[in-house]
Amino acid sequence: MTLFSVECITCRRRLKVNHADAIGQILACPGCGSMVEIAPPPDWQAGTGDTPAGSVGAGDQTQWAESEAEQGEIAAGQAETVDDFDSLLAGGTPDDPLPPPLLRPTAPPLEGAASEPPSPNAAWASPVEQQWRKRILLGGCAVGLLALVTGLAIFAFSEGDDPPKESQTSAEQNGDSSQGEPEASPAATAEKKPDDHPTEFDPPAPVDPPNTIGPPSPVDPPEVTPMPTEGPAEPPPVNPDPRPDENPVEPPDPSSPNETEEPVIESPPTPPANPIDVEARLADKIPQINLPRIGLREFLEFLTDLSTVSITLDLDALAELRVDLDTPLSVAASDSTVGDVLRKALAPLKLDYVLRGGQVVVTHAAANRRPRTVPHFVGDLATDPASRRALAELLKKMIEPQSWDGEKPTGTIVIGDEQLTVTHSFSTHYKILRLLERLRIARRLQPRNKYYDARAFELTTPMTRATDRLDAPLPANFHQRPLREIVAYVNRKSELQIVVDWHALGKVGVWPDTLAKLRAQQTLAALGEMLTRLRLALRVVDERTVQITSMAALRSRYDVQLYRIDDLLPGAEAAAPLIENIKGRVAPQTWQSAGGSGTMHYDPKSGYLIVRQTQGVQNLLETTFQGLRKEPR
């Protein structure tokens, strides 16, 4: 007999109460399993109904709160269980229907209440529940075993990619080439042709050491017996960049088509001092050294390990002297110093070292840093006096513009017949030669280059030429490791040559032992993420070489690039409006018209736009031109 009904507040079902002993208890709803308090309605009186009182327990097969129809629905819903999946998948039906759902165990007694230890009820001991518990246990074991195997695999993989420890890194930098370095692509030199015109800028040919013809060969471990020096053999560890990482400034992303402004970089706080006494280390004695044949970069790394002095390479000077990172050199000396050994090894390559801001920089020898007068033939580019004057003004506008005018100019240009006679530094002569040669290529004239690799005069940007290597995956994971160790690892694992401008990094307080993080991903993204945390920048030098430098150094360096835009113009007269449009869209505050240093010049004979800007803006310009070509016209 139904005494009254209550409502489950979870599933909103009306539940019939058939036993008076259930009054006051909290039982499970047969529909959803939620706990329901059995409370009679206010107008209900005890004694109504003729159902004899009895206990409601696990052994009672009569449902306390379901009608017969509702019991049938629940039983039908529970028929297909895991026990019968095999027969269901085979197309059969379960052999034995499951019994109707039993009551759940009641809530545990309150704390302090005397009660006997609970014992399993009929539901707990039923075959179905036992089978479920067995399967849950097996499933849990399987999941745990799978997690253990996965963890071991990840650990083994991370151990495989982990860079060599400090001792191994030191051994590699001391001449062990078993790990291998990226192969150098030898520069192809154009065949020299006879020329009846006046002598042009003729850089000194690179001098190979005696008996060093042919590609570089593996180097035997150098015979060095360093004399003990005072002080620590290794520089003390330097804490990572003390500046907070909150809201780090993101460097410009050259691949982002929506980027039209160079980010404004805040001035960093005063950097910590160099932990190395450079002058003292350069004066350290080397009793004996004999390196019969070794690549330039490998030699500098060896000397860095020996002296703990970081050495910066002037990459512009190397390009101007036709020296690459793998150019071989030889050195043998006795009872010498670190500085003397470095100078003696660099001399045959017309290189020397200087101290700038307490940092060692390998650059031009002193003779090449003095001004010199050189005639540059321009008869094929400018056929009349007016065009030669215009070309001279273009060179002043694009190359070292601050050096030609003012109270104390450091350079001059004299206009002559079919030539411009320029007095300036060796580096400026190279820049003039490079611009004139690229202008010939843009105008489809015969190249006059007789000394340099033709790749030095390519019209495509360095970022475009290095795209494939920068897009390659970089399998590396470093967490708080010295920057020099990460750079050495990436040089071994990638197809790039990474060169660090330690002179620029020292100005912002980043040293070789500054800790950094590198995450495995695309090479450009991985390096960009690491350098952003240190507030550094990446400069793409050529298709194979990139340089880690500071934000300030990258923003103060201006390059000249040529872009073909005649396909974007309906006529030559439309060049001026397009130039103004570009200036307004891409870093407008960086152009001369807005007080900056960037400038543009359209060459109608070639259809190319000549631009002097920083590399960040150059990359944005290239992206902008690509976008304009996709726009409907």
Cα dist from 92 to 77, 85, 86, 89, 95, whole Å: 17, 10, 9, 7, 9
* pLDDT digits 0-9 by tens, 130-152: 777 777 888 888 888 888 888 77
Whether 280 and 338 have beta carbons less than 8 Å apart is answered as: no
For residues 32 and 203, the model is more confident at 32
Neighbouring CB atoms inside 10 A of 73's CB total 13
Which of the four pLDDT bands, split at 50, 70 and 90, describes residue 75?
very low
Q: How many helices (H) and strands (E) does the chain have?
A: 19, 23
Instruction: Please state the separation of Cα 245 from the chain's center in Å.
Output: 17
- Tens digits of per-residue pLDDT, 558-588? 999 999 999 998 877 888 999 999 999 999 9
pLDDT at 240: 37
Report d(CA 527, CA 546) in Å as an integer: 10
Residue showing tokens 């706990």 = 35
Distance CA 288, CA 491 (A): 30
Q: Which residues contact 331 (CB under 8 A, 6 or more apart)?
A: 289, 290, 291, 299, 341, 344, 345
CA 496, CA 545: separation in Å to the nearest integer?
6
**Distance (Å, whole) CA 256 – CA 254:** 6
Burial of residue 551, with CB atoms counted within 10 A of its CB: 0-12 exposed, 13-18 middle, 19 or more buried = buried
Q: Find all residues with CB under 8 Å of 5, minimum gap 6, and list them.
A: 14, 15, 16, 17
Mean pLDDT across the chain, nearest whole number?
75
Amino acid at 332: A
pTM: 0.59
- At residue 573, φ and ψ (nearest 5 deg) are -70, -15
Q: How far apart are the first and last CA of the chain?
A: 87
* 43 HSE (CA, 13 A, CB side): 1
Q: pLDDT digits over 219-265, tens only?
A: 444 444 444 433 333 333 333 343 333 333 344 444 444 433 444 43
CA-based torsion, 176, 178, 184, 185: positive or negative: positive
How many Å apart are CA 52 and CA 69, to the nearest integer?
A: 23
pLDDT of residue 151: 79
Q: Which residues of 439-450 are buried (b: 16+ CB within 10 A; e: fewer)?
A: bbbbeeeeebbe
Burial class (CB in 10 A: 0-12, 13-18, 19+), 198: middle
Q: Is 445 helix (H, G, I), strand (E, B) or coil?
A: coil
pLDDT at residue 516, as a whole number: 94
Taking the C-alpha atoms of residue 535 and residue 265, their distance in angstroms, rounded to an integer, is 9
Q: Hey, which bits of 462-514 come out as E strands?
A: 473-474, 478-482, 497-500
Beta-sheet pairing, 497-500 with 545-550: parallel
